[in-house]
Amino acid sequence: MRRGQRDIVLPDRPLVDGPTALRAWRDEDVAAIVRACQDPEIVRWTRVPEHYGEVDAQAYLMERDASLHAGATAPFAIVASDDLSRLYGSVSILRLAWEHLRGEVGYWLAPEARSAGHATRAVRLVCEWGFRSLGLERIDLLAAADNVPSQRVAERAGFVREALLRSHSRGPHGREDMVAYGLLASGSRTA
């Protein structure tokens, strides 16, 4: 472990807010991940590659497990609270900077789960958990400047828009501007 790094232990029970729940990833999620990651919007706004297949999903789960155990990422599956096997998407606290008690939240949703509030509830749940269980003091969220739905999720989840980061990231169509958001533990519902 690196200096300041901490063990991450996901909760035994799902985190729930109404129809949305967060739980640890399972091996049996592979087929649902593959189906969701066929969506061009997920490919467009995330690092999910085109032509995503079963091998990609298996590698994703192995990478998530490894990064969890390394104290680098806290990955959750977004699922239906009344059917924990119905996968809606992914939400993680990643890029943990333990020395600064800071992380970043990232997420994607399958097309059929959009426009129902699942992303907003999932982001709130994971951030509240990160503040309470990991002792984080700040969580960042970066959304592509053209990804207005993701920016709306950030704002509904309580994040404050802080800056436009010009030419911040390389996307599938070249350099992208990113909108930087921040959420402080002192400003969350659990503070």
| Pairing state between β 15-17 and 20-23 | antiparallel
Query: Which domains does the chain show, CATH number per domain?
Result: 15-136 (3.40.630.30)
Q: What's the pTM value of the predicted model, to 2 decimals?
A: 0.90
pLDDT digits (tens, 9 = 90+) for 110-159: 999 999 999 999 999 999 999 999 999 999 999 999 899 999 999 999 99
How many residues are present in the chain?
Answer: 191
Distance CA 92, CA 85 (A): 18
User: Residue 7: what residue type?
Assistant: D
List % helix, strand, coil for the chain (3-state, nearest 5). Answer: 35, 35, 30
Q: Is the pLDDT of residue 31 over 70?
A: yes
